[in-house]
Amino acid sequence: MTALKINGEVQQVDAPDDMPLLWVLRDVLGMTGSKFGCGIAQCGACTVHLDGQAIRSCVTPLAMAAEGEITTIEKIGDTPVGQRVQAAWLDLEVVQCGYCQSGQIMSAVALLAANPNPSDADIDAGMAGNICRCGTYPRIRAAIKKAATL
Amino acid sequence: MSPRLEAAPPVGRHALSRRAIFKGSALLGGGLVLGALMPRVTKTWAQAAGTPPPIEPPSAFLRIDEDGLVTMIIPSTEMGQGIYTAEAALLAEELDVGLERVSLVAAPPDEKLYANALIGMQMTGGSTSIRAWFLPLRRTGAAARQMLIEAAAGSWGVPPGECITSNGSVSHAASGRMAGYGELAAAAMALPVPSAITLKATDQFRLIGKSLKRLDTPDKVRGKTVYGIDVRLPGMKIGTVASCPVFGGKLKSVDEAAALAVPGVSHVLKLDDAVAVVGDHMWAAIQGMQAAAPVWDGGAFKDMSMEVLVGSMAKAAQSDGLVAHDQNDAPGAYGKAATKLEATYQLPFLSHAPMEPINCTVQVKDGVCDVWVGTQVPTRARMLAAKGAGLAEDKVTIHNYLIGGGFGRRLEAEYVGQTAAFARQVDFPIKLVWSREQDIQHDTYRPYYYDQLRAGLDGQGRIVSWQHKVTGASVYNSYMGGWPADKVDPDAVEGAVETPYAFPAQRVDYVRWDPAPMPISWWRGVGPAHNVFVVESFMDELAHAAKQDPVAFRLPLLEKDPRAKAVLQLLADKSGWSSAAPAGVGRGLSLQLAFGSYVGLVIEASVGEGGLIRVHKATMAIDCGFVVNPDTVRAQMEGGLIFGLTAAMYGQITIEGGRVQQNNFNDYRMMRIDEAPVIDIHVVASEAEPGGIGETGTTAAFPALANAVFAATGKRLRKLPLSPVDLGAA
């Protein structure tokens, strides 16, 4: 059993140490807000926070995740920055199919937490790891700027 | 456990009680259930609006609970395009309710009730949802409203004409009486559906034409939306699939013992051409599949390469083919032309790569089959599930979910049949999730096209002859089967025959060439995503050959189509077309009439070292007729454009050794935020018949970018994707 600190609670997980956190979340704990997109850290759909840093849970082994505190999309709205990002996302209707947006929001929150007033270049650098097939990039850019002002 | 669990979770502001969830093909409980008021024949906007609607047998689009909660059964699948909100607005507008008391559920498979009138099937695709449902859903809402008024007037003993409705209630001013829809629903349901239905005039709309907040997005930003891939059922196991990497090949052997030795793996299931490894979680399935190390017999396609495929197409393109359009002897006019131009364009195979990889959950038990899946085609999914499960269609229940990206991929349901064929081998529910590699290597691909263009100009640089020969696969044949060899595939020439232009002489030919067993299908933008690239690229070539400005060159050809002309003029104005482009930047133009909408696009792009293209800005002008949700139109234009630019710059699936060479997002690249241009959209206010929108931005992107690259570099690229190698050599 591995003790996983997740969204402020400790969960005992019966899974191998090398199992990627994404599958622990989705298939063991039933937390399906984090998404599978590529499995090789190319698309960012699986992004969660480990000690506040955006990480790709599809390539992060359980053992590594257990060394810190995990935050997922299910509870990011409880943080002030998360709340602002979600509000801006809804205000500007960023979302289309929505499948990548858990990861987009987690990356955006990590970006804003580290850099409260990001420039276009900062946004590009912070968000280029997250693919959106619906093409919501212009609205993501605008929503991050908006969230910075809320 | 019961094999029949709940249907797809509903969407809406109002927390829906379990009793109101739509199940199977019947609604639970009482309340008003209203039939679809489908026009049998699609007419023009004006004609249809004035025609009394024929009444279909009662069915379910609307349900009003005793507490006034309105449940809407939405006929189109939500895959990000905003259709749930738009179709809910159509119903709610005429019913006279606010969207805050509305819940939405997916329509179950039922061709009779939910067939899209423009397609003739229960399908969400081809940018047809608003075009097909604009009137039927409004009529349904309006009929329900009239029935509620009748019920109120009857119980109060007052003339119906003196009653008014407002946000979910009926009132009678003279007597001061008022009743909520919930109280009236049971009595209203007992009344006949009115034959004369009065629709609101457009100036009475409260919801239609307004940028409404989407009903599906609040859950999506909180990670609460359940997509097909998120389904969890008691006793369910999770697996992954490997199909023979060579199209048409078979499974030879698999190391079952090694797979079963992986902790968490419980089953190795086999089909003729595929393996599923199933276990407690995806990690076990992935490792189990590696251990299983399936061995394949590639079969006849195993030596196929792009060189052979394209060589074979080029050879086929020399034959005459079928005449798709023949007006005023274009070959004859070409012979007499002062200037003659010829060009060959090639477009690659493309994968859809929606962010939600292909997945399906099936349980086959006790002679019934349940399918949990996001699909654009519920009846097709049911038919294929029945086939895979070896059951009759009426033993199959489809639970449809919101889709994490469709783009045409979920118009196919072969994976539903495959999952059912695996699931019938066990008695518990299995969720099969494809790896991204499986998703890309076993897609149903946009076909390769090989197009030959030929045009003649007169001494003044005016087009006197336009000839276009398309060589490519028939998607109609692959999708429906049995498309006659002597009949032109309408998809293959869509956008080639009907252009915005009045050519004095025009001929379009079609040579059918099929890459089977490689599977092909619809891809966002369908026929026009191929033909608009070719037509608009060649128009640009002709304009330059005539030494004319590309806008000025097109305008005289638009004299008979004022909407096209207005869009082009608006585009020229808003894009600053007549001003000089920034240094090193080229401006490229495209104009199209597709899906009932006019779209003009100007791209500003530059080409840097190594032939790397940078897209700086996109300006769009669009006339898509009457707009239901303006913000959704913009969102679809933005997203469609980026989808098209992505493919124009990076998209190609190639074949070597009979198998797809691309694997994942590392080698099937997507545009990312740091490459996305600034997008400026101008929508023409219009009361014309609504046009389609979802595919138009994609279609426009290819030629506008190619023309911008030409403007920036002088290099004409006639092959997609626009290759840095070709540009670097410029």
Are B434 and B393 in contact, with CB atoms under 8 Å apart? Answer: no
Q: Which CATH number fits domain B307-349+445-728: 3.40.630.30, 3.30.365.10, 3.30.70.260, 3.40.50.80?
A: 3.30.365.10
| Positive or negative torsion for Cα B683, B686, B692, B696 | negative
Cα–Cα distances in angstroms (integers) from residue B647 to residues B16, B342, B643, in the given order: 40, 25, 7
Q: Report the chain A residue with the minimal C-alpha distance to residue B231.
A: A32
Q: Which of A77, A98, A125 sits opposite B217 (nearest CB)?
A: A98
- Closest chain A residue to B358 measured between Cα atoms? A37
Q: By the 8 A CB rule, do A112 and A144 touch?
A: yes
| CB < 8 Å to A105, chain B | 221
**By CB neighbour count within 10 A (0-12 exposed, 13-18 middle, 19+ buried), where does A142 fall?**
middle
Strand pairing report for B62-64 and B32-33: antiparallel
Question: Tell me: the pLDDT tens digits for B652-683?
Answer: 999 999 999 999 999 999 999 999 999 999 99
Region class of A27: left (phi > 0), else alpha (psi between -120 and 50), else beta: alpha
* Phi-psi region at B520: left, alpha or beta (left = phi > 0; alpha = psi -120 to 50): beta
Query: First and final CA of chain B: distance in angstroms?
Result: 66
Print burial letters for B304-341: b (CB count within 10 Å at least 16), e (below 16).
bebeebeeebeebbeeebbebbeeeebeebbeebeeeb
Check whether B42 has a pLDDT greater than 50.
no
What integer pLDDT is reported at residue B16 of this predicted model? Answer: 33
- Residue B339: per-residue pLDDT: 98
pLDDT confidence band for B10 (50 / 70 / 90): low
Does the bond joining A116 to the residue before it have cis omega, within 30 degrees of 0?
Answer: no
Higher model confidence: residue B571 or residue B25?
Answer: B571
- With beta carbons less than 8 A apart as the criterion, state whether B151 and B184 touch: yes
pLDDT of residue B21: 27
Residues B280, A27: C-beta atoms closer than 8 Å = yes
Three-state secondary-structure class, residue A47? strand
Q: pLDDT-derived band of residue B729, with 50, 70 and 90 as boundaries? A: low
**Taking a C-beta distance cutoff of 8 angstroms, is the pair B262, B218 a contact?**
no
Q: Chain A contacts of B225, Cβ < 8 Å?
A: 98
Which superfamily does A2-74 belong to?
Beta-grasp domain (3.10.20.30)
CA atoms of B61 and B71, how far apart (whole Å) = 8
Residue entry with tokens 């109609």: B476
Does B639 sit within 8 Å of A136, measured CB to CB? yes
CATH of domain A76-149: 1.10.150.120
Sequence length of chain A is 150
Which pLDDT band holds residue B335 (cuts at 50, 70, 90)?
Answer: very high
Backbone phi, then psi, for B167, in 5-degree steps? Answer: 40, 55
Q: Tokens 């090949």 correspond to what residue?
A: B249
CB of B239 within 8 Å of a chain A CB? The answer is: no
Handedness of CA B534, B537, B542, B548 (dihedral sign): positive
Residue with tokens 């085609």: B377
Q: Is the pLDDT of residue B14 over 90?
A: no
* Contact assignment for B221 to A20 by CB distance below 8 Å: no
Q: B119 pLDDT band (50/70/90 cuts)? A: confident
For chain A, residues classed under CATH 3.10.20.30 are: 2-74
Residue B79 in contact with partner chain A when CB distance is under 8 A: yes
pLDDT per residue over B130-176, tens digit each?
Answer: 999 999 899 999 999 999 999 999 999 999 999 999 999 999 999 99
Upstream peptide bond of B192 is cis (omega within 30 degrees of 0) = no
Using alpha carbons, select from A39, A23, A135 the residue that is nearest to residue B666: A39
In DSSP terms, B87 is beta-bridged to: none
**Do B11-221 and B307-349+445-728 agree at the fold level?**
yes
Q: SS3 for B439?
A: helix
**pLDDT tens track for B543-595:** 999 999 999 999 999 999 999 999 999 999 999 999 999 999 999 999 999 99
- Out of 3.30.70.20, 3.40.50.11290, 3.40.605.10, 3.30.365.10, the CATH code matching B228-299+358-433 is 3.30.365.10
CB atoms within 10 A of CB B173: 11
Residue B459 makes CB contacts below 8 A (sequence gap 6+) with B338
ipTM: 0.98
Yes or no: say if B357 and A37 are a contact pair by the CB < 8 Å rule.
yes
Mean pLDDT for the stretch of residues B525-552: 98
The Cα–Cα gap between B493 and B509 comes to 8
Residue B48 or residue A69, greater confidence: A69
CATH 3.90.1420.10 at B11-221, yes or no: no
For residue B153, how many other CB atoms are within 10 A of its CB? 18
Chain B from 288 to 347: CB within 8 A of any A CB:
none
CA distance A81 to A79: 6
Residue B674: DSSP 8-state: G
pLDDT at B112: 85
Q: Which residue has the tokens 């029945």?
A: B386
Residues of B in contact with A32 (CB under 8 A): 223, 226, 229-230, 232
Closest CA to B619 of B602, B595, B596: B602
pLDDT of residue B11: 61
Backbone dihedral region for residue A51 (phi beyond 0: left; psi -120 to 50: alpha; all else: beta): left
Instruction: List, as ranges, residues 640-679 from B with C-beta within 8 Å of A.
Output: 640-643, 646, 664-666, 670-674, 676, 678-679
Q: Which of chain B's residues have a Cβ under 8 Å away from the Cβ of A90?
A: 213, 217-218, 221
**End-to-end Cα distance, chain A:** 42
User: C-alpha distances in angstroms, B389 versus A96, A135, B262?
Assistant: 33, 37, 28
Q: How far is CA B369 from the centre of its chain?
A: 27
Q: What pLDDT sits at residue B726?
A: 84
Q: Is B712 on the interface with A (CB under 8 A)?
A: no
Phi, psi angles (nearest 5°) of residue A66: -75, -10
Tokens of B537: 């690229």
Distance in angstroms (rounded) separating the CA atoms of residues B725 and B718: 13
Using CB atoms, which residue from B224, B230, B643 is nearest to A135?
B643
Task: For chain B, give every domain's residue range.
Answer: 11-221, 228-299+358-433, 307-349+445-728
HSE-CB at B98 with a 13 A cutoff on CA atoms is 9
Distance from CA of B434 to the nearest CA of A (A): 10
Query: Do the strands B449-457 and B430-433 form a parallel or antiparallel pair, or are they unpaired?
Result: unpaired
Rounded CA-CA distance B608/B614 in Å is: 7
Q: Which of B109-123, B211-225, B380-394, B708-722 has the lowest mean pLDDT?
A: B109-123
User: What is the token pair recorded at A57?
Assistant: 């849970």
Q: A97 vs B355: CB contact, 8 Å cut-off? A: yes
Contact B643 A131 (CB under 8 A): no
Mutate which of B222, B280, B286 to disrupt the A interface (most A C-beta within 10 Å)? Answer: B222
* Whole-Å CA distances, B679 to B127, B524, B528, B610, B694: 21, 20, 22, 26, 16
Mean pLDDT of chain B: 91
Nearest Cα neighbor of B353 from B696, B699, B701, B664 is B664
Q: What are phi and psi of B39, to 5 degrees?
A: -70, 135
CA B522 to chain centroid, in Å, comes to: 8
Q: What are phi and psi of B398, to 5 degrees?
A: -100, 125
Q: Is the pLDDT of residue B334 over 70?
A: yes
Under-50 pLDDT residues of chain A: none
Element (H, E) at B33: strand B32-33
Cβ of residue B618 closer than 8 Å to a chain A Cβ:
no
Given a cut of 60, is residue B467 above it in pLDDT? yes
Write phi, then psi, for B711 (nearest 5 degrees): -60, -35
